[in-house]
Copies of this chain bind each other. A is one copy, B any other.
Amino acid sequence: MDDLNDSVTADDVAAAAGVSRWTVARAFKKDASISRKARERVLAAAETLGYAPDLLASSLASDRSNLVAIITNDFSNPHKLVLLERLTRMLWTAGWGTLLVHMSDSDDASAALLAASQRRVDAAVVIGTRFDDTVLATALGARRVKKLVIFARYSQNPGTLTIACDDVIAMRDIADHLLDKGYRRPVFLAGPDTQSAKLHRKSTFTEYWQARTGTPVPALHADAYDSAAAIERVTRLLDGQSPDQRPDVLVCENDIIAIGAIDALRCHLGLRVPQDIAVTGFDDIPLAASPAYQLTTYRQPITAMTEKLLEVLAGTLTHDVHLPGRLIPRGTT
């Protein structure tokens, strides 16, 4: 059991089992025309020899690598860890390997896509909020990847498939919840206001709120998608503001910004959440459920989204998908 060798090839197994090399290949294929006896003999021989098909050679010959690239440029948001966990686990279960590609800045998109295509990935999945759509489009034009999926984010790229949580339903749910609770003066706290960012949640929320109440919603932009930037922005907004001028709720684009907002309110401004100001987030990261925050937020249907991704990879789904998530009411509203 110890002298197993990795350089056993299908030929070796074939010889040991007394069949041809091609029968060995069939034995490892799900629905192949092969007798049960032959398959058993082959599998037994493979077991004792310690043989496992070489996926590299297989990919080269078949033009299918069973590899998908996960491309991201945002490692500061804990939500990415949740996404990575779900993606790698479910893809692995379905037989897909995952190549993790780090994309440093936006203009690195072509390099990331190039790396993916050089490894012959069957698809590239982009996760992350800080992508420039146009940069992505030009990168895609220069270096073709069989399938390009934008995951957990809105995008209008042609030649691209989007799988995301339905922001329209989500922001309406949040707005309805806030109106039910009696809040009337929300401020929307978003991430950076770059030209390229879609900021779909912001526009959806503000439009719906205005339609329902007739009043506009002021919007703020943090300089980055992290809590430090949110702390800075919220402190700057509220410092020295009198209680009756203050918003009664901060609607945040995601949890990490909401966490920063809460920290600013409590630690820098001495305000209570939700008594003085309420806060909502988006994503339902683990920290949102901790007793220290108890953040009211909105959970994306990651498992269902990943199942859709599997359909895309299988080729049975070829259009954009927007799935409804779920409001998670907690103590901050």
Residues on A close to B: CB < 8 A?
Answer: 1-2, 4-6, 50, 52-57, 59-60, 65, 67, 70, 75-76, 78, 80-82, 84-85, 88-89, 92, 97-102, 104, 114-115, 117-120, 141-144, 226-227, 231, 259-260, 262-263, 266-268, 286-287, 290-292
Contacts and interface: CB of A to CB of B under 8 A. Distances in A.
A52 B118 contact: yes
A252 to B, nearest CB: 15
B88 A81 contact: no
Contact of A56 (B59, B92, B97): B59
A89 B102 contact: yes
Given A54-B118, A85-B75, A118-B52, A99 B102 contact: no
Nearest to A92: B102
A57 to B, nearest CB: 6
3 closest Cβ pairs, A-B complex: A75-B85, A267-B291, A88-B102
A227 B289 CA distance: 11
Contact of A2 (B141, B226, B291): B141
A99 B99 contact: yes
A66 to B, nearest CB: 9
A92 B266 CA distance: 40
Given A60-B56, A141-B2, A102 B78 contact: no
A142 B81 contact: no
Contacts of A70: 100
A6 B114 CA distance: 10
A118 B114 CA distance: 23
A249 to B, nearest CB: 20
In the complex, the count of this chain's copies comes to 2
Nearest to A59: B56
Nearest to A116: B97
Given A98-B99, A267-B291, A56 B2 contact: no
B292 A120 contact: no
Given A6-B143, A52-B118, A56-B56, 12 more contacts: A1-B142, A4-B141, A4-B143, A6-B117, A54-B120, A78-B78, A89-B102, A89-B104, A98-B101, A263-B291, A267-B291, A292-B292
A294 B120 CA distance: 45
A88 B101 contact: yes
A23 to B, nearest CB: 20
A117 B52 contact: yes
18 contacts: A1-B142, A4-B141, A4-B142, A6-B144, A50-B142, A52-B114, A52-B118, A52-B143, A54-B118, A55-B118, A75-B85, A78-B78, A89-B102, A99-B99, A100-B100, A226-B286, A260-B290, A287-B287
A52 B270 CA distance: 58
A81 B82 contact: no
A268 B286 contact: no
Contacts of A88: 100-102
Contacts of A267: 291-292
